[in-house]
């Protein structure tokens, strides 16, 4: 596939996998994907497995991501984890503002923007998630929602930081539901987001930022989705929990 932006496919394991299960999965992925150079491959285990997974993938083309972090650098924030703590495990990416956190932890665009800045300050690349609910899509509010989320969650980033930020477009109605956006719906939303980046930053930044699609990505739909001009990868939930399906998504995307 001939794109100027390198594809980035990340597995969001959510609250799944003990350390032993996590190691099993990455051992399989290392074997299956050892020759892949065309895609940045990222696994995002729960915090508890980061240390062991980090060691297990040292000599591989897999990169490590976390699923969340604090906007603060240090202090009395019980239960929280800082960007620097993630860096100790050689974490390179961090998912921010996933719709589950927006919904269950009530994360706001403002908070997500603070986290994105804190991530960059520690040289972590944020994967910032945006996306509309079904009710919002049905009310024709998709663009308005994306506009608010993109501007709000990326507020304060410099152009250089924005280029090192990944956006994941994840229509909430497609997450874990088996319903995938059509390729046209995905491309339309991605092109719209890129247009917003052109206005909020500049055209060069907009051309360089990678925008992942997320929402029931599986081996059978990966190729078509990735072939869209503005789709630069995927954020994969359920199908990233098994070696075979995650590896096939990646191989089918090349
Ligand atoms: C996700 O939660 O980021 C996701 C896309 O999940 P799934 O692939 O299971 O829809």
Tens digit of each residue's pLDDT (9 = 90 or more) over 79-128: 999 999 999 999 999 999 999 999 999 999 999 999 999 999 999 999 99
Q: What is the CATH number of the domain that holds 103?
A: 3.20.20.70
Count CB atoms within 10 A of the CB of residue 220: 13
Count up the domains in the chain and report the number: 1
**CA 22 to each of CA 48, 90, 114: distance values in angstroms, whole numbers, following the listed order:** 10, 16, 30
Q: Does residue 92 lie in a domain region?
A: yes
Total-model pTM: 0.97
Taking CB atoms and a 6 Å cutoff, what residues make up the pocket around ligand 1? 12, 170, 175-176, 214-217, 235-239
Contacts of 186 (CB under 8 A, 6+ apart): 169, 213, 225, 228, 231
Q: Which atom of ligand 1 is nearest to the CA of 240?
A: 8
Q: Does residue 34 lie in a domain region?
A: yes
Q: Does residue 218 lie in a domain region?
A: yes
Q: Does residue 123 lie in a domain region?
A: yes
Check if 190 is active-site. Answer: no
Domain range for 222 is 7-253
Q: Does residue 158 lie in a domain region?
A: yes
Least confident of 117-121, 177-181, 223-227, 237-241: 177-181
Q: Does residue 162 lie in a domain region?
A: yes
Q: Does residue 236 lie in a domain region?
A: yes
Q: Does residue 211 lie in a domain region?
A: yes
């Amino acid at each position: 596939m001939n794109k100027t932006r390198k594809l980035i496919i990340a597995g969001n394991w959510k609250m799944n996998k003990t350390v032993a299960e996590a190691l099993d999965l990455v051992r399989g992925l290392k074997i299956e994907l050892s020759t892949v150079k065309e895609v940045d491959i990222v696994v995002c285990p729960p915090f508890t497995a980061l240390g062991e997974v980090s060691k297990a993938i040292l000599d591989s083309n897999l990169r490590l991501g976390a699923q969340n972090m604090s906007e603060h650098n240090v202090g009395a924030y019980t239960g929280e984890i800082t960007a620097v703590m993630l860096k100790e495990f050689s974490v390179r990416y961090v998912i921010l503002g996933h719709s589950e956190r927006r919904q269950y932890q009530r994360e706001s665009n403002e908070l997500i923007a603070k986290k994105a800045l804190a991530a960059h300050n520690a040289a972590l690349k944020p994967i910032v998630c945006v996306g509309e609910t079904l009710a919002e899509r049905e009310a024709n509010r998709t663009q308005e929602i994306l506009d608010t989320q993109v501007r709000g969650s990326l507020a304060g980033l410099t152009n250089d930081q924005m280029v090192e930020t990944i956006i994941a477009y994840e229509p909430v109605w497609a997450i874990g539901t088996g319903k995938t956006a059509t390729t046209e719906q995905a491309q339309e939303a991605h092109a719209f987001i890129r247009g917003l980046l052109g206005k909020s930053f500049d055209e060069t930044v907009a051309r360089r930022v990678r925008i992942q699609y997320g929402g029931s990505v599986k081996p059978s739909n990966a190729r078509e989705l990735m072939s869209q001009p503005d789709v630069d990868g995927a954020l994969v939930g359920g199908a990233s929990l098994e070696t075979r399906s995650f590896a096939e998504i990646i191989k089918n995307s090349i």
